[in-house]
């Protein structure tokens, strides 16, 4: 059985998911956004026959398993609370008039890469 181990960790520029040699992120919603995305990816990998785990690196460097395919429920019980926290809008801030006009006319930015 192939492995699909996802590591969620904070780097200087935000929260990322690392799997094998690849890194994905930073994730909107920070830690919770990255955890939710990692569990979704691990769930699919597990369905595809892989030994799938999500691990979380704490600030002190320790790594703990946050979710395991086949052992933990999907979605995990903490996911709804994490999803709500990740979706909480940021504090309103003023935008320069030039950017406000451009974003209103152009619509949302195009989707970017990443997992």
Ranges of each domain in the chain: 3-106
Q: Kindly tell me if the per-residue pLDDT of 7 is higher than 70.
A: yes
- Could you read off the pLDDT of 16-67 as tens digits, one per residue? 999 999 999 999 889 999 999 999 999 999 999 999 999 999 999 999 999 9
| Cα separation, 57 vs 7, whole angstroms | 7
Say if residues 66 and 56 touch (Cβ distance below 8 Å).
yes
Mean pLDDT of 75-101: 64
pTM for the whole structure: 0.71
């Amino acid at each position: 059985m192939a492995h699909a181990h996802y590591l969620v960790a904070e780097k200087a520029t935000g929260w990322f998911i690392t799997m094998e040699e690849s890194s994905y992120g930073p994730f909107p919603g920070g830690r919770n956004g990255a955890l939710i995305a990692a569990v979704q990816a691990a769930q699919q990998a597990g369905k595809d026959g892989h030994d799938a785990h999500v691990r979380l690196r704490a600030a002190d460097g320790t790594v703990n398993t946050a979710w395991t395919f086949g052992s933990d429920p999907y979605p995990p019980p903490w996911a709804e609370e994490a999803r709500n926290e990740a979706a909480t809008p940021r504090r309103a801030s003023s935008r320069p008039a030039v950017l406000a006009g451009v974003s209103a006319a152009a619509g949302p930015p195009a989707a970017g890469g990443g997992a």
